Amino acid sequence: MKLLDARSLTLRRQMLDALYDAGRGHLPSALSCLEIVRVLYDKILRVRPAEPAWPERDRFILSKGHGCLALYTILADKNFFPKEELSSFCAFGSRLGGHPERLLPGVEAATGSLGHGPSLGIGMALALRLNTNSSRVFVLCGDGETNEGSVWEACLSAAMHGLDTFTLIIDRNGQQSWDDTEKILPLEPYAEKFRAFGFNVLELDGHDLAALEQAFSTLPLESGKPSCLICHTVKGKGFPTMERNLAWHHKTKLNETEYTCLLADLETAGRKA
């Protein structure tokens, strides 16, 4: 796994502050996919923050909606909405709920009921094709989320229609709410499953910015086929106290001591980087 650069550390501090202000949230699940979302919005997606409904935009769906702090932080960083609004995360009446909703500029679909993102994305990709629109669709799922049968039904459909404008990204952090994925419902051999369902598959380090940019830049992996990128990540990445520690999966409230310790964790990660 790659060390985190200064920007990734800054974004993590913003995510931590939002969680601390809110008193709840799924921070580890957002930390594992932050570099994926960052590279997409920094280097890959055709989007216009001042015109979020631009018809020619690429579409990104965060199917693992509980990891929304990663998406919110990047959208704020890209000026889809003011950064100051991050402090309203999960507050009553806020546009930044515990799962994404379309009322927030830049959010393409309300998600968090796991397993729905791939079907939504494939529907979008088919509609774009019918409208002769070459925009691409990217859907990010958690690995535990692929326990849902609807994911595999969607994969069959994407392959049947030869949707090479559709990319499924898997945040393969190896954990879900209660335990390791391989103890709850084994997924391996994982890449072979997606290949059997008609996808071209690439595995990579989901925290390696250069590897992510290279992989996204080569899409589609094969003309006439949907692509699947299995990104190996660490749940809680950047905070040693939190990494692979399932006690942090959904932290209802951070006390001041915990917050201070996590800041020290982040500073240590920065010195190592």
Residue 1 falls within a domain, yes or no?
A: no
Range of the domain at 41: 6-272
Residue 3 CB neighbours (<10 A): 13
Amino acid 78: pLDDT: 98
In angstroms, the Cα distances linking 62 to 30, 184, 258 are: 10, 23, 28
Task: Label residue 270 by pLDDT band (50, 70, 90).
Answer: low
Indicate whether 24 belongs to any domain. yes
Q: Based on the structure, what is the number of domains in the chain?
A: 1
Question: Is residue 38 a part of any domain in this protein?
Answer: yes
Residues 226-248 pLDDT 10s: 999 999 999 999 999 899 999 88
In a domain, 21, yes or no: yes
- Give the CATH number, domain containing residue 113: 3.40.50.970
Confidence of residue 112 (pLDDT cuts 50, 70, 90): confident
What is the pLDDT confidence band of residue 3, given thresholds at 50, 70 and 90? Answer: confident
Is 193 part of a structural domain of the chain? Answer: yes
For 236: left if phi > 0, alpha if psi spans -120 to 50, otherwise beta; the answer is left
The whole-number average pLDDT for the span 74-82 is 98
Per-residue confidence (pLDDT) for residue 273, from 0 to 100: 47
Position 98 pLDDT exceeds 60: yes
Is residue 98 domain-resident?
Answer: yes
Smallest CA-to-CA distance from 2 within 26, 38, 27 is with: 38
